[in-house]
């Protein structure tokens, strides 16, 4: 019954991508999977499953209440079990943690909360031994005010005056724009430290109009002067120069890949912009310049319990189970797994973790706590950052008892990795099976999923390029 609903969702969603010449479903023969996944070092990213880890909440190895790199290393076996191709870590760089690590005071060092550069080297080595790639966040838009460059710039140290665009509050100024010089940071990680890729944070905001022109009012109802949405950001977002910088980075990364003869170094951009702008991050329309290997598509973010399959999400504001309802966890994981291209899984989605319980007083998300907690509930990202639920021991197995940086969700007794691994049928088992199935598919442009026979509820059939693959879910449902 449950799967019936889920498959229907999938079918509706995917038929939208099917062209007019719908492939005839052939009679089912065996449970044979046909096709292959790009696993070669040039194309690995085209069909990769990327597992996003929030390091602060993943595994606390030294019992100080904060997750760390050693914790991730400890859990690499688990990550291998999932069958994902790469892990992407939210920021682990040195930071005063005013903005949850997005305020970086040294782009080339690890914050002591998470460990050391040596720990990072070990993580890369151990992950690569398991053929798991590692991708980090890269935050080019801004630095912490404690960064050496900022301190030197504010104190007008020779050569650093123009590292930032300084302006008097209300005066417009000439200020010839100096391109950011973060290429050495990219080289540091992707070349020297053998990193496989970077996810570029907040890319649309990189360049601002040189004249610091006031932006027009958006006139969107419900917003006041303190809200970002109050203005129409035509002078500070998606500026033409931003795209040129992204194209330069691609050249730089491709050069590292080619000169080092290594697997393709990739980057993915985070741009909550209109689809027209997001497309530009991939490159120029004539293909003469390439940009990001892929860009996150937030177009599908408007999901809720009434959403249909059309509204697929890659969501950073809530665990997907909380957003769409627990009964759709497997359906969404299936849907995302079967779409062509890259799959991103936020840690916890594979076991159907739901939002934790955090009060504003316990909260850590600075931008949500401000304004006397009046917007905490609607804007906090703490709910989906509660510690990862490993088992039903103290603190969900996240650590061995020290007070955790955010409270452990009470839901860990019912929802945890150990329990779902032990069961024959669970969200986790389905996720793992899906990854095995996905490993046998290619990035193709025609896809049909349906049950081959009316009464065969647990059988899934996928057609791509006239090739029929069938999969038997009876053993996990």
Tell me whether residue 183 or residue 299 sits nearer to ligand NAG (CB atom). 183
Residue 259 binds to ligand NAG (criterion: CB under 6 A):
yes
Tell me whether residue 20 or residue 455 sits nearer to ligand NAG (CB atom). 455
CB of 361 to ligand NAG, least distance (A): 14
Tell me whether residue 141 or residue 409 sits nearer to ligand NAG (CB atom). 141
Which residue out of 68, 137, 191, 201 is catalytically annotated? 201
CA distance 75 to 91: 18
CA distance 380 to 20: 44
Give the number of other CB atoms < 10 A from CB of residue 395.
Answer: 21
- Residues 6+ positions from 83 with CB-CB distance below 8 Å: 49, 432, 435, 436, 439
CB of 399 to ligand NAG, least distance (A): 8
| Piece in contact with ligand NAG (CB under 6 A), picked from 116-124, 205-213, 421-429, 439-447 | 205-213
Q: Which of 255, 284, 359, 466 binds ligand NAG (CB under 6 A)?
A: 255
Residue 335 binds to ligand NAG (criterion: CB under 6 A):
no
In SS3 terms, 216-252 reads as CECCCCCCCCCCHHHECCCCCCCCHHHHHHHHHHHHH
Q: Is the separation of the CB atoms in 291 and 243 below 8 Å?
A: yes
Residue 109 binds to ligand NAG (criterion: CB under 6 A):
no
CB of 164 to ligand NAG, least distance (A): 7
Residue 261 binds to ligand NAG (criterion: CB under 6 A):
no
CB of 324 to ligand NAG, least distance (A): 26
Residue 202 binds to ligand NAG (criterion: CB under 6 A):
yes
Per-residue x/- track, 365-384, ligand NAG (CB under 6 A): ------xx------------
Which residue out of 208, 270, 315, 349 is catalytically annotated? 270
Residue least distant from ligand NAG (Cβ): 397
Of residues 157, 82, 29, the one with CA closest to residue 431? 82
Residue 151 binds to ligand NAG (criterion: CB under 6 A):
no
| Piece in contact with ligand NAG (CB under 6 A), picked from 151-159, 202-210, 297-305, 307-315 | 202-210
CB of 307 to ligand NAG, least distance (A): 27
Residue 209 binds to ligand NAG (criterion: CB under 6 A):
yes
CB of 265 to ligand NAG, least distance (A): 12
Structure tokens at 343: 């799959």
Per-residue x/- track, 455-474, ligand NAG (CB under 6 A): ----x------------x-x
Q: Is 241 a catalytic residue?
A: no
Q: Which of residues 51-70 bind ligand NAG (CB under 6 A)?
A: none
Tell me whether residue 85 or residue 137 sits nearer to ligand NAG (CB atom). 137
CB of 346 to ligand NAG, least distance (A): 19
Q: Which of residues 120-149 bind ligand NAG (CB under 6 A)?
A: 141-142
Q: Which of 282, 390, 405, 451 binds ligand NAG (CB under 6 A)?
A: 390
Of residues 125, 20, 19, the one with CA closest to residue 72? 125
Q: Is 270 a catalytic residue?
A: yes
CB of 318 to ligand NAG, least distance (A): 20
Q: Which of 121, 211, 274, 466 binds ligand NAG (CB under 6 A)?
A: 211
Q: Which of 20, 29, 170, 176 binds ligand NAG (CB under 6 A)?
A: 176
Q: Which residues are catalytic?
A: 201, 270
Q: Which residues lie near ligand NAG (CB under 6 A)?
A: 31, 141-142, 174, 176, 202, 205, 209-211, 255, 259, 371-372, 390-391, 393, 397, 459, 472, 474-475
């Amino acid at each position: 019954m449950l799967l019936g609903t889920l498959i229907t969702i999938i079918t509706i969603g995917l038929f939208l991508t099917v062209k007019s010449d719908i492939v005839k479903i052939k009679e089912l023969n065996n449970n044979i999977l046909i096709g292959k996944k790009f696993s070669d070092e040039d194309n690995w990213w085209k069909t990769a499953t990327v597992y996003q880890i929030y390091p602060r909440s993943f595994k606390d190895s030294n019992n100080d209440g904060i997750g760390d790199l050693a914790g991730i290393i400890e859990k690499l076996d688990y990550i291998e079990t999932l069958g994902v191709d790469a892990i992407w870590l939210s920021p682990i760089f040195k930071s005063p943690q005013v903005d949850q690590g997005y305020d970086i005071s040294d782009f080339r060092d690890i914050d002591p909360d998470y460990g050391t550069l040596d720990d990072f080297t070990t993580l890369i080595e151990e992950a690569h031994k398991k053929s798991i790639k590692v991708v980090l966040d890269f935050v080019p838009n801004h630095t912490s005010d404690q960064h050496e460059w900022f301190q030197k710039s504010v104190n007008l140290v020779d050569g650093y005056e123009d590292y930032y665009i300084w302006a008097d509050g209300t005066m417009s100024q000439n200020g010839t724009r100096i391109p950011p010089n973060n290429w050495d940071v990219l080289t540091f990680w992707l070349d020297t430290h053998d990193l496989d890729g970077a996810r570029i944070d907040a890319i649309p905001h990189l360049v601002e109009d040189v004249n610091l022109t006031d932006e027009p009012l958006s006139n969107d109802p419900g917003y006041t002067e303190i809200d970002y949405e109050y203005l129409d950001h035509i002078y500070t977002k998606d500026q033409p120069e931003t795209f040129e910088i992204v194209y330069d980075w691609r050249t730089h990364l491709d050069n590292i890949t080619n000169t080092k003869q290594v697997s393709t170094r990739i980057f993915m951009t985070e741009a909550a912009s209109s689809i027209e702008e997001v497309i530009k991050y991939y490159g120029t329309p004539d293909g003469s310049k390439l940009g990001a290997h892929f860009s996150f598509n937030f177009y599908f973010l408007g999901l809720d319990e009434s959403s249909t399959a059309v509204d697929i999400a890659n969501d950073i504001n809530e665990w997907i189970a909380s957003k769409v309802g627990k009964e759709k966890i497997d359906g969404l994981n299936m849907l995302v797994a079967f779409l062509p291209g890259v799959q991103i899984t936020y840690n916890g989605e594979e076991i159907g973790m739901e939002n934790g319980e955090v009060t504003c007083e316990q909260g850590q998300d600075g931008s949500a706590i401000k304004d006397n907690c009046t917007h905490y509930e609607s804007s906090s990202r703490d709910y989906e950052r509660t510690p990862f639920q490993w088992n039903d021991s103290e603190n969900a197995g996240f650590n061995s008892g020290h007070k955790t940086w955010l409270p452990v969700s009470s839901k860990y007794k019912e929802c945890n990795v150990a329990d779902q691994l032990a069961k024959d049928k669970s969200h986790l088992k389905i996720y793992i099976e899906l990854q095995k199935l996905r490993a046998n598919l290619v990035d193709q442009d025609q896809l049909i999923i349906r049950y081959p026979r009316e009464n065969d509820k647990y059988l899934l059939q996928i057609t791509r390029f006239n090739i029929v693959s069938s999969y038997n879910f009876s053993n996990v449902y």
